[in-house]
Amino acid sequence: MLRTLSALAALCCAVALQPALVRTPDAHACIRPRAAAVVMKGRGSRGLPGKFMSKPTTDKGVKKRMQKRDFDRKEWVAVCKLDDIPEMGATKAVEAGKQPGKMGPTGFVEGGSYIWCLVRGEPRPSRPGEEGEEPDAGIFATDGSCRACQFPMTAGSWESGNKFTCSCCGTSYDLESGEVVEYMPKNNPVQWAAAMANQDKEPQRAAVLPTRVSRSGRVYVRLPDNTII
Q: Which residues neighbour 148 within 8 Å (Cβ) at sequence distance 6 or greater? A: 166, 169, 171, 183, 184, 194, 198, 201, 203, 204
- CA gap 80, 156 in Å, rounded: 19
pLDDT in tens for each of the 229 residues of the chain?
555 555 555 555 554 445 544 444 444 444 444 444 444 443 443 333 334 334 444 455 544 454 444 334 457 899 999 999 999 999 999 999 887 777 878 877 777 889 999 999 999 876 554 544 566 889 999 999 999 999 999 999 999 999 999 999 999 999 999 999 999 999 999 999 999 999 999 999 999 999 999 989 999 999 887 777 7
Amino acid at site 101: G
pLDDT for 66 equals 46
140 within 8 A of 122, measured Cβ to Cβ: no
Domain ranges of the chain: 75-222
CATH H-level superfamily of 75-222:
Rieske [2Fe-2S] iron-sulphur domain (2.102.10.10)
114 within 8 A of 99, measured Cβ to Cβ: yes
Q: Which residues neighbour 145 within 8 Å (Cβ) at sequence distance 6 or greater? A: 115, 151, 152, 153
pLDDT for 44 equals 40
Closest CA to 147 of 112, 180, 114, 113: 180
- CA gap 219, 139 in Å, rounded: 8
